[in-house]
Structure 1
Amino acid sequence: MASKEEILGQFQLYNINPTSDVIEKCLSLCVSYNIESEELVDQWVAYTSSNLRGEAPTVEHLEKMERKEYQKNKDQVAAKLPSHKDRSPYVVSTHQSSTSKLDAPSTPKSNQTPSSRIQTPIQSKNLANEFKDTISSPGSQVANYSKRVNALAVQCSYGNKETTFKSKPLLPTIKMVFDGGLKANQTFLYEIIGKKGKSLNNMAEDLIVAIRDKYKLGVPNEAENDEEVSNIYAGRIVSDSDGKLNNQSVLLELTQIHMGRTIQLNLSKVDKYSLFPGQVVVVKGDYTKQYKRKKPLLVVQEIFADTDFTLPSEPPLIIEAYIKAPPITSELPSLNFI
């Protein structure tokens, strides 16, 4: 039985907030035609999309839908129902073809199943008896597995078993850890492009500072417009085309301060150079505007690309590491690499 709450909930699924009069009318339709609230709302959505261009429900629109859909169907069903008073004992089927023009009595038909459709039932086979000797499903655990005595024990080790880690003894042990499962981003190796670009920009800025300190260069220009005030520029080498990098397609992609703006490089005045896509460089040259071209042009005089990094001092301690990948057993041939 439909209710006002169900009707309102069904309308809200389509982002429709009907009035109380509309809900009363819908409830009356559900009771009169013995239909559910979901069916009524679906019928209204289809009706208003086809006839009213998606208008909101009103009492007048619901009455039109009732006359067109429900009352029409009810009259058709009533016309098809047979009359018990005038029914002839010789007529079994009341269905007549729409193309028939004469009301001829039909021949009584038997309710028995035709002999052509009688089938001999196939005797069912007991598969359990046929495969009794070949199929087995143990109802309990294997005896060897249940009697094991080395559960949660180290099966294989290599090297010194007693060492120190952060001034504390470390012995090979097995610990049950539950992290709650991997997240969706970790499962599909999802990587946010913004974070990746920020990481690349941070590495480029560190290299630019190291190159600038080595050659005693000034601070690269950080102006955001085309009126440049310095002849030193820094960034990454990129290609202007999809093919291989050549002297006509070399672009300099500036850092995040310039919002990744690119400048075309003219290398005609450079005697020797070796560049590759993604290389971080600091260039010195003359910046010129090109009103007929989309990208500005930089006539390069010098390219600075190499730098010296001071390696960290090596600690005097011996570095030891434990690598564990359970579950493993000593019987597996994959441990022979030790």
Structure 2
Amino acid sequence: MESELKQEFDNMGIEPSQEVLFRSVDLCSNYNIEDAAEFVEQWVAFSISNLNGAEPSLEHLNEFERKVFQAKRDKELMAASKKKAGKYPSAISNLTHLNDIASSSSNPLAMYGVDDSDVMDEYMQDSGMMSSMAADDIDSVPGTPSILHTPKAKSALARTPARQNETLFSPASYSPIGTPRTHTAAPGSGKIVYTFGNPSLITNAQWSFTTPQPRISVKQLLQHEGNCLGPGTKAKYMFDNLYEKAEIAGDRVFEIGKALCKKVFGEDTLDYELGQVDMHSQDVIKTIGVVHSDYDGPLDPSSTILVGSNEASCHTVRLNFSKTKSVGIFPGQVIMVSGMNPKGDVLMVEEVITEQNLQPPKPPQIADRLSFVIAAGPYTNDDDLVYDPLQDLVMYLKENRPNVLILCGPFMEADHKVISDNVTLAETFEAFFEKMINGIVEAIGQETTILVVASHRDAHADCVYPTMAI
């Protein structure tokens, strides 16, 4: 051990004396330290923290023993004594307890901490079959009930006593999912903080539940059945083919460019010819391209370039807006530019024609009033999985049943504090989500159409945006 300690001291640049080595070996033996490196590292840490990096000496080693090893041993002995005292009560406490039992001679069950009157009351109700002699004997005892029965077992309390009579949306778990506490509504709950729309219509609107409610049909515009993820496909999940991405971008430029030509030239589109973005011309030409920035920063007049629509050549030209009063464009936008390009490297812009605005859809014809409720997660507190806020929402939906309920995620966040602490759930995230939705449907009925919008933060959903339907 002495040679090992000397080697470790040498590694730290310390030359200990023979007395210091003997004292170090003695400390390792007394405090069961078998690793010389551990002892030397503790000494270096102590020396830097308390002795300003002083060299080891007998005096310093004695101080090291007193402040480190003896202090650690005293703490361990104190903790062990407290643990032993909690397991085995002291003689004084036992004697006090026996004196209390002896003083309650009228109650033979007091030594077990039980009131005999409560126990006898449980057994002397609702029984029914007694002999007349036994009944007379019982009646002769003052304060004794005349009917005997076996007490029923008390039902177990729910995990959250504040919500014993309500549906629990918390997941099944083998470990605690939160500290039970009395639930209080959030301040300002149910208060109208903002209104949108015609004030007179809002004032005259009546939120009332009518039976039967009109059925709402939901049409899914974006159809995605997940065929690309099937076992027979060659595509990889969340991997894109660059060639296909380029083709899609080219098709987008072509379709928008065709709409721009129809907007500018009308039906005589084929009679006009567009030029390349970098074509030399002293006359005004028209060209179509995509707006880009030539550096990684916000778009500004000096950094705007136009990429041509020809996928094979991919010509570019810098745009000069000195002849225009004001222009509003953004990166990635497909535009038609009118101007001159005398040198071929800078296009002097005279006019920018953007894509045609989309026509707004016709508003649906609604015969009856429709009521919507839109809620967004998370639906539980940050430190538990009891889902008290979701329970409040269900209570509100029972009182004000809407035609449509839109629930936006996250429903169970993947980075929730309780889940991050490695809580052991007794069911999968998918099973818990299905149980949650079934509980909501059972609570508010099937007259309400429920739409669920998943979040990429959900533990049971794919971590992509936009998130696919569940």
- TM-score class normalised by the smaller sequence: 0.3 to 0.5
Greater helix proportion: 2
The structure showing larger relative contact order (alpha-carbon pairs under 8 Å, at least 6 residues apart) is 2
* TM-score for the superposition, normalised by structure 2: 0.28
* TM-score for the superposition, normalised by structure 1: 0.37
